[in-house]
Amino acid sequence: MSGFGHSGPDTLKPAYDMVVQARGGVMSITGEPGREPVRVGASVGDIVAGMFLGQGILAALVERGKTGLGRKVDVAMLDGQLAILEHAVAITGETGKPPLPAGARHPSITPFETFHASDGLFVIAAGNDVLFAQMCKTLGLDALIGDPRFATNLARCDHVKILKRLIETHTLTQDKAHWLALLDAAGVPCAPIQNVAQAMEDRQILARNMVVDLAAPDGGKPFKAAGNPIKISGMDDRLGNASAPQLDADRAAILAWPDEQTRSIAP
């Protein structure tokens, strides 16, 4: 894995997460309309490349198991950024016009953004006509269901500003908890906007063992870390009394692993 890959004119250029976010187009669609481009809060340049590398390694291992041949897996951080621009690449390819920052709003689905309640913002993602109608009934906006301006997703995207204003005339009358409870009960996708501390206390996240306590390797103060998001049947992902390793502590085991594994699966 490298910044720009092992081929092409810029293969030797240095890179960091923000460099590939900028060059790969991600920063150009991130942020509020009319404001300066901003970096995604998480290091998606680094993380996405690592995820693609993991998939490439698995694919190479499958082929090795079938043919006995090894492969070089070449993943560039820059390539990964373009690969995650699903709607932006499609829109640009079809229209010739690159999309601009749209804040929290999805560029091709409406309503799919933040809305104001009396005590702040929350999210509604009514991604199809059925959910839009259900949302309208739940919010007391039944009249919008038959309005030709909002009859289809394309029409709603064309009238996104007036639709948001009409929705917020109702959502501003009650607090977030009120609307989230009603929308949840009606099966309309919605969510509070939580900070990291709140997310780390979320009942669903905790139920999935996604916040774990790790002991310090030097006997110091224990600390919290994100759990493993990959859940596999028959494997307990609760870490118990696990601790973070000392720097370089597992070098010998890691270096020995490929030979051991190769011997164990050799025909």
Residues in the chain: 267
- State the first-to-last Cα distance of the chain, in angstroms, to the nearest integer: 30
Unique residue bearing structure tokens 């509070």 = 192
Output the six-digit token pair for 223.
């600390």
| Nearest CA among 181, 73, 56, 70 for reference residue 122 | 181
Q: Which of 106, 159, 170, 178 is catalytic?
A: 106
Is-catalytic flag, 106? yes
Residue type, 41: G
Task: Give the separation between CA 207 and CA 111, rounded to whole angstroms.
Answer: 30
In 126-253, DSSP assigns E strands to 190-192, 211-214, 223-226
Task: Give the separation between CA 52 and CA 55, rounded to whole angstroms.
Answer: 5
Instruction: Kindly give, in sequence order, each residue whose CB lies less than 8 Å from that of residue 105, ignoring residues fewer than 6 positions away.
Output: 112, 113, 114, 160
Give the CA radius of gyration of the chain.
Answer: 24
Residue type, 73: V
Task: Give the separation between CA 176 and CA 120, rounded to whole angstroms.
Answer: 7
Q: Specify the DSSP class assigned to residue 115.
A: E
Which residues are identified as catalytic?
106
